[in-house]
A and B are shown apart, each in its own frame.
Chain A
Amino acid sequence: GENVEQHPSTLSVQEGDSAVIKCTYSDSASNYFPWYKQELGKGPQLIIDIRSNVGEKKDQRIAVTLNKTAKHFSLHITETQPEDSAVYFCAAGYGNNRLAFGKGNQVVVIP
């Protein structure tokens, strides 16, 4: 089955700087790559997703890039703010909604 690896496990950035989280996946059949943000006491919330027919997608301060050849995708957060502090999960799937998740990345934005 699909295996998703996510790194680094923890990332600290100064407010206003950019944060980048990288994930790799194993199954070349995967064609859907969502990113979830989880705040304390809440469930994962979808923040952005990308499909395999697209190389990049942007939504305000967040963007995701996908390299199908290398089987990796990244989340980019620009101009980080304290409210961006959370655990971020990447995932991969292929049309049946059975998502394989990465282990999560704790992002800490230092004011």
Chain B
Amino acid sequence: EPEVTQTPSHQVTQMGQEVILRCVPISNHLYFYWYRQILGQKVEFLVSFYNNEISEKSEIFDDQFSVERPDGSNFTLKIRSTKLEDSAMYFCASSQDSLNEKLFFGSGTQLSVL
């Protein structure tokens, strides 16, 4: 069964450093997303991406965040200058189309900012 894959599974970084989280969405999906879950809190929407541009972003997704689809398979989330409060589990998701609304999630990247 096709699945969304995320790498790395764990990432430890120093405050102020840049990190790139990587995702390979399901191959025939057109919509891509990043969500995050801070420990003990709800899963929160960050951004949606379609046709090589951001469709929607939350208030969390400020100028420190960016997304990119550098090639036909990868979808990345970059945090330019990490802060302690960026520590969270980051989930990538994809869907076949917006009307389908069935999101398929990856296993997540646990980001720890020290």
Chain A positions near chain B (C-beta within 8 angstroms) = 4, 32, 34, 36, 41-46, 49, 89, 91, 93, 95-104
Contacts and interface: CB of A to CB of B under 8 A. Distances in A.
B43 interface: yes
Given A41-B107, A95-B98, 11 more contacts: A4-B42, A36-B105, A43-B93, A43-B107, A44-B91, A46-B102, A46-B104, A89-B43, A96-B56, A96-B98, A101-B44
A34 B99 contact: no
Interface string B81-105: 0000000000101010011011111
A43 B105 contact: yes
B105 A32 contact: no
Among A49, A95, A99, A100, max chain B CB count under 10 A is at A99
B65 interface: no
Contacts of A32: 101
A67 to B, nearest CB: 20
A99 B103 contact: yes
Contacts of B43: 44, 89, 91, 101, 104
B66 interface: no
Contacts of B75: none
Could you tell me the dominant secondary structure of chain B's interface residues? strand
Contacts of A34: 101-103
Contact of B45 (A41, A49, A100, A102): A100
Contacts of B31: 97
A75 B103 CA distance: 18
Given A43-B4, A89-B43, A95 B99 contact: yes
A93 B101 contact: yes
A103 B77 CA distance: 24
Interface in B9-46: 31, 33, 35, 41-45
Interface in B39-85: 41-45, 48, 55-56, 58
Given A43-B91, A44-B43, A103-B41, A97 B105 contact: no
A48 B79 CA distance: 33
Contacts of A43: 4, 6, 91, 93, 105-108
